[in-house]
């Protein structure tokens, strides 16, 4: 597919090492340019009569003048992160808001509230906040600042001021419904290309996600079977004096293979699976953003049609059309800038992830 071919367009002059390949694509924005650093750590269980939930410590360090202090420490639960994401979507409907891990995970992978699940979620929440912090627009959102700095009671009070969840859901449903009623007549060509790109990307990333999970499952089954063979050869050596040393050698070899396989599985579960799944979620988010942009365009088109048919007073409609034209232009510019940034990030993440997997595989087979 030519729309994704650029992902594999490495220059012949690039050195063979995967690490040196990836170094060709590092961003110019280094850590020295950042003025906001966020850490999510120290998960803590809370058990009440009504529910059991986890809170995470969010530590923020900053040199920005709009913050009253240079360091903050607050505790947040998953619902607080959901609230922040919904406020960002509400304030910036045509920007690409980073995904959150789902509330419920796939059955059979890990149990909810297990150490593995909590750590996976902590990493995802940490990445979510830092992606917002690194975004040129979202990082200055007032709700984001409140999320990082307000104590629990202050955040609870602030949440009550905004529209309720059902109200927001209603707005989203109406927006999506109106955006798919018919084809957008005057959609610029670049947004049609974005739609086509995302449809292809969504299919490919979902397929990669499924394949990666299947590989991990097969690797785990192989590992579990191999674990049984080492002890069997050790026991066997006790009853076969003539070949005892050979059998012990085989047992030792199997043990080394087990350790190498376990290390490769850890690499898959820590580096490959989370990145692929994050971009599965990103594909859903981007399709939603494109629909919201189309909805704004659709509003403008319907007003222009109504004016052309002289159904209402021209002066009133001309003013509304002017405002909608400005709204469409702002939405288009916001999405265009965010699209280029997201695509660059995505290509960087994919390159680094797959070269990391390649290096892990090389080490595995060498061992």
pLDDT score for 153 = 87
Mean pLDDT of all residues in 181-207: 87
pLDDT score for 104 = 55
Q: Which domains does the chain have, with CATH numbers?
A: 36-152 (3.30.1520.10), 190-224+267-366 (no CATH)
pLDDT score for 61 = 95
Q: Using the predicted structure, report yes or no on whether residue 200 has a pLDDT greater than 50.
A: yes
pLDDT score for 173 = 43
How many C-beta atoms surround the C-beta of residue 114 within 10 A?
10
Categorize the per-residue pLDDT at 318 as very low, low, confident or very high, splitting at 50, 70 and 90. Answer: confident
Higher local confidence (pLDDT), 113 or 145: 145
- Closest by CA to 121, choosing from 41, 211, 37, 46, is 41
Q: What tens digit of pLDDT does each residue of 136-175 get?
A: 999 999 999 999 999 988 898 888 876 544 444 445 444 4
Q: How far apart are CA 184 and CA 182, in angstroms?
A: 6
pLDDT score for 34 = 81
Categorize the per-residue pLDDT at 41 as very low, low, confident or very high, splitting at 50, 70 and 90. Answer: very high
pLDDT score for 22 = 47
C-beta separation of 116 from 110 below 8 A: yes
DSSP structure class, residue 63: -
pLDDT score for 112 = 61
- Closest by CA to 74, choosing from 140, 145, 150, is 150
Q: Using the predicted structure, report yes or no on whether residue 335 has a pLDDT greater than 50.
A: yes
Name the average pLDDT for the chain.
83
DSSP string over 80-99: HHHHHHHHHHHH-TTS-PPP
Higher local confidence (pLDDT), 301 or 254: 254
Q: Using the predicted structure, report yes or no on whether residue 94 has a pLDDT greater than 70.
A: yes
Q: What tens digit of pLDDT does each residue of 343-355 get?
A: 999 999 999 999 9
Contacts of 262 (CB under 8 A, 6+ apart): 223
Mean pLDDT of all residues in 175-188: 59
Mean pLDDT of all residues in 2-15: 44
CA geometry: angle at 116 spanning 110 and 118, to 5°? 100
Q: How far apart are CA 125 and CA 74, in angstroms?
A: 14
| Stretch (H or E) spanning 188 | none
Categorize the per-residue pLDDT at 124 as very low, low, confident or very high, splitting at 50, 70 and 90. Answer: very high
Top mean pLDDT of 14-28, 256-270, 290-304 is at 256-270
Q: How far apart are CA 280 and CA 201, in angstroms?
A: 9
pLDDT score for 101 = 85
Q: How far apart are CA 155 and CA 162, in angstroms?
A: 12
SS3 241: coil
pLDDT score for 299 = 85
pLDDT score for 247 = 94
How many angstroms from the chain centroid is the CA of residue 317? 41
Q: What tens digit of pLDDT does each residue of 230-265 get?
A: 899 999 999 999 999 999 999 999 999 999 999 999
């Amino acid at each position: 597919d030519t729309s994704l071919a650029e992902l594999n367009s490495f220059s012949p002059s690039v050195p063979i090492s995967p690490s040196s390949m990836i170094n060709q694509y590092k961003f110019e924005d280094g850590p020295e340019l950042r003025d906001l650093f966020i850490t999510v750590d120290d998960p803590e269980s809370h058990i009440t009569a009504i529910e059991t939930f986890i809170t995470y410590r969010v530590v923020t360090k900053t040199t920005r003048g709009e913050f009253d202090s240079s360091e903050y420490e607050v505790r947040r639960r998953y619902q607080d992160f959901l609230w922040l994401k919904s406020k960002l979507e509400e304030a910036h409907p045509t920007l690409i808001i980073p995904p959150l891990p789902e509330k419920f995970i796939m059955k059979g992978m890990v149990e909810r509230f297990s150490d593995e699940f909590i750590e996976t979620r902590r990493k995802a929440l940490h990445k979510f906040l830092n992606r917002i912090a690194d975004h040129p627009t979202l990082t200055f959102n007032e709700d984001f600042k409140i999320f990082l700095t307000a104590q629990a009671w202050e955040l609870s009070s602030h949440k009550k001021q905004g529209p309720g969840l059902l109200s927001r859901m209603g707005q989203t449903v109406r927006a999506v419904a109106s955006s798919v009623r018919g084809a957008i007549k005057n959609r610029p060509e670049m947004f049609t290309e974005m739609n086509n790109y995302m449809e292809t990307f969504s299919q490919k990333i979902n397929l990669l996600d499924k394949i990666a999970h299947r590989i991990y499952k097969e690797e785990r089954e192989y590992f579990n079977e191999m674990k049984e063979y080492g002890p069997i050869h050790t026991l066997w050596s006790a009853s076969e004096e003539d070949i005892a040393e050979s059998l012990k050698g085989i047992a030792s070899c199997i043990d080394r293979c087990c350790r190498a396989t376990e290390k490769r599985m850890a690499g898959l579960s820590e580096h490959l699976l989370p990145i692929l799944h994050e971009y599965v979620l990103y594909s859903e988010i981007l399709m939603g953003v494109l629909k919201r942009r189309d909805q704004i365009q659709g509003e403008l088109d319907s007003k222009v049609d109504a004016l052309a048919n002289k159904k209402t007073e021209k002066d009133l409609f001309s003013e509304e059309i002017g405002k909608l034209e400005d709204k469409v232009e702002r939405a288009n510019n916001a999405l265009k800038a965010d699209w280029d940034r997201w695509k660059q990030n995505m290509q960087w993440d994919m390159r680094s992830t797959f070269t990391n997997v390649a290096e892990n595989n090389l080490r595995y087979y060498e061992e």
